[in-house]
Structure 1
Amino acid sequence: MTSLSFTHTQDLLASIAICNKCTLPKHGRHGSQVTIFPSRKNKAPVFCESRLEAAFCLELERNSKVLNYDAHPFTINFIGTKYRYTPDFLVRLGSGKEQLIEIKNDDSYQDKAITGRITRYIELLAEQGCILEYLPAAKFYGKVRTPNLYYLYHGAYCSQGTAGASIRTLLTQCAPDRRPIRCLTDNGYSFEDVAHALFYRTIHCDIFKPLCLTSLVWS
């Protein structure tokens, strides 16, 4: 369970809303499943209400601008209205700024009633200098890309990434610089270190194709 304190965003909203602690999800939304995501950035598990939220955690882990984040950080009760809203994520950036994020599957994103309600929240929050980003699954989820990222993230979990620069140098010295993953493991690099370099984009591959030892990587 994450225990991050995002007081800046709550302070921004103090004049228009009361932010209450959000309880951890015990079951997912209709058709969804509670998933526990092992966050390296938070050094703690993140409780997600759906697999889609867990998939978005991969994007936050991979984004070098993100310092840490929390899922369902609090419920916003807008003063003088019946509006209650719990954002999917609150993200703290390395710059010190904070940002709320709401994600929806593509069907919900195209639902005018749902999108209209979220748009109203965006407007209310923006008036207080608080950013709420609204994203459809199509912006980050892919049937091949997402499983690849899961595979690399969990493969890289025990690596500190210290071999990344060396791996990149090896590929840079190759002509051409594209080599199969097997070339790296044959040169003594562990799968964990290669996975770390790929997940955090020290080196690159075609993430939209299934990954295997013959997949090409480059610097």
Structure 2
Amino acid sequence: MKKLRINGGETASPLRNIKRSQFGKQTTIFPSRKNGESIVCEVRLEADACFHWEYDKDVISYRPQPERLVLEVEGKIRTYVPDFEVLYSDGSTTFVEVKPDNVYRKPKYLALYRAAEEFLHKRGQRFQLLTDSQIRQQPRLNNLIKTYSQARGVTPIERAYLRDQLSMLKAPMQIGDLLALPSPPSPASLSAALFEQELRCNWDKPISTSSRVFWG
């Protein structure tokens, strides 16, 4: 079982038993700061989806394998556990299925997802299918992974120092120029500010020291 490390935090237990890594799968523990605990992911693609939810300001929390749904699928009763439940700031809830592009198109899955969507709609909730082509858009995903990982362990003092410096500087500036200041902010504070959107940049290009950042 692969683990993305974080200081402290518990592990959220999923409803459905998730076995350790099997052939073609790599069980991962994702260190969620938004949830304040580690999230068990059945495959790495699910962990990659977590980076997007961590970045999305509208997402309050999310949890894996949240509920067993009893559905009627093409005249037969089936049980189904979505991969995630995502809670948004407006109070709405979305149940999410994470699947590779070459898997979700199979008729048996499409019928199941239609039944789940109809069932949840009646409860006033949403169903969403997330595929690898959506989750793993590059370089956006790599930028999310890089900034989220590099922000680990940043302290409130580092964050406050960066804000003080930015208040005396004129945007935009390259990241390398900020790091070249006589008393530069820490790389961790810059990564945290980028991930939490206090600093803005072009996420459609790889983030590097030559990237221009904006604030204010």
Measured against the shorter chain, the TM-score band is 0.7 to 0.9
Alignment identity in percent? 27
TM-score normalised by the chain length of structure 2? 0.79
Worse-superposed segment, 104-113 or 189-198: 104-113
1:2 and 2:18 aligned: no
1:191 and 2:184 matched: no
Q: 2:175 aligns with which of 168, 181, 201?
A: 181
- 8 Å CA contact 2:97–2:129 kept in 1: the answer is yes
- Per-residue CA deviation, residues 131-187 of structure 1 (Å, 9 max, x unaligned), is 1122223223224221221111011122254456446545xx52xx33211122223
Q: Is the CA contact 1:73–1:90 (under 8 Å) kept in the aligned structure 2?
A: yes
When residues 169 and 32 of structure 1 are mapped into structure 2, their CA distance, relative to the original with a 3 A threshold, is farther
Q: Which runs of 5+ in 1 are unaligned?
A: 5-20
Q: Which runs of 5+ in 2 are unaligned?
A: 1-10
Q: Secondary structure at the match of 2:25?
A: coil
Aligned residues of 2:62 and 2:87 also touching (Cα < 8 A): yes
2: CA distance, partners of 1:3 / 1:97: 22
After superposing the two structures, state which structure 1 stretch, 106-115 or 124-133, moved more. 106-115
Tell me what 2:210 maps to.
214
Query: Contact (CA 8 Å) 1:25, 1:47: kept in 2 or not?
Result: no
The answer to whether the 8 A contact 2:67-2:82 is kept is yes
Deviations along 1:42-96, one digit per CA (max 9) or x if unpaired, are: 1111010111110110111111121211111232234895311111111122333
Q: Do 1:36 and 1:47's aligned partners in 2 also have CA atoms closer than 8 Å? A: yes
1:114-133 correspondence runs (5 A): 114-133=109-128
Matches of 1:104 and 1:191, distance apart in 2: 34
SS at match of 2:30: strand
What is the CA RMSD across the aligned residues, in angstroms? 2.5
Query: C-alpha distance in 2, partners of 1:52/1:193?
Result: 27
Counterpart residue type for residue 12 of structure 2:
T
CA distance in 2, matches of 1:163, 1:60: 27
